């Protein structure tokens, strides 16, 4: 394996989503994701796209890691942590020395230990409540 990383979204986001059992996005949603991601990264094994993640946020202090996907056959090979470490470095390039940023994410079920190894804390905890999600389907 020769893993490299490029700061861009993959050519077929829905292919990644299908590979891990997630629902597909509409063409309009895909375009919005492309246009509104602050940073995106794609992991490659040669020419094959094997991982993807992105950050959305205000560019000042709030950053949200979204859509972290590594194709199942490449999981547990360091691809996910390679992408996230590079994305966090990119986010840190946007702030000045001494400033603090908040990097948030919503973990997929049972993936919390992976994120904890990268320094993320579980919520709820003694200081903070739990993260919450609401899925809404338009009529």
Domains of the chain by range and CATH?
3-117 (3.40.630.30)
Looking at residue 30, what is its pLDDT?
A: 94
Q: Is the pTM of this model over 0.85?
A: yes
- Exposed / middle / buried, residue 84 (Cβ in 10 Å: 0-12, 13-18, 19+): buried
How many angstroms separate the first and last alpha carbons of the chain?
45
Nearest to 82 by CA among 121, 43, 114, 37: 43
State pLDDT tens for residues 7-24. Answer: 999 999 999 899 999 999
What φ, ψ does residue 130 adopt, rounded to 5°?
-80, 155
Nearest to 53 by CA among 111, 117, 7, 89: 7
- Count CB neighbours of 18 within 10 A: 13
Q: How confident is the model at residue 28 (pLDDT cuts 50, 70, 90)?
A: very high
DSSP state, 13? H
Reported as a single tens digit per residue, the pLDDT across 34-79 is 999 999 999 999 999 999 999 999 988 899 999 999 999 999 999 9
What percent of the chain lies above the pLDDT cut of 90? 78
β-strands 48-57, 102-105: how paired?
unpaired
């Amino acid at each position: 394996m020769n893993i490299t990383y490029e700061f861009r979204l993959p050519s077929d986001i829905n292919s990644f989503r299908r590979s891990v059992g997630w629902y597909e996005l509409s063409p309009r949603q895909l375009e919005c994701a492309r246009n509104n991601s602050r940073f995106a990264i794609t992991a490659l094994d040669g020419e094959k796209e094997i991982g993807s993640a992105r950050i959305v946020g205000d560019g000042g202090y709030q950053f949200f890691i979204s859509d972290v996907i590594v194709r199942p056959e490449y999981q547990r090979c360091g691809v996910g942590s390679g992408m996230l470490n590079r994305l966090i470095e990119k986010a840190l390039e946007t702030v000045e020395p001494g400033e603090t940023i908040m990097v948030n994410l919503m973990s997929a079920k049972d993936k919390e230990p992976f994120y904890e190894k990268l320094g993320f804390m579980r919520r709820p905890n003694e200081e903070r409540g739990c993260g919450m999600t609401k899925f809404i389907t338009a009529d």
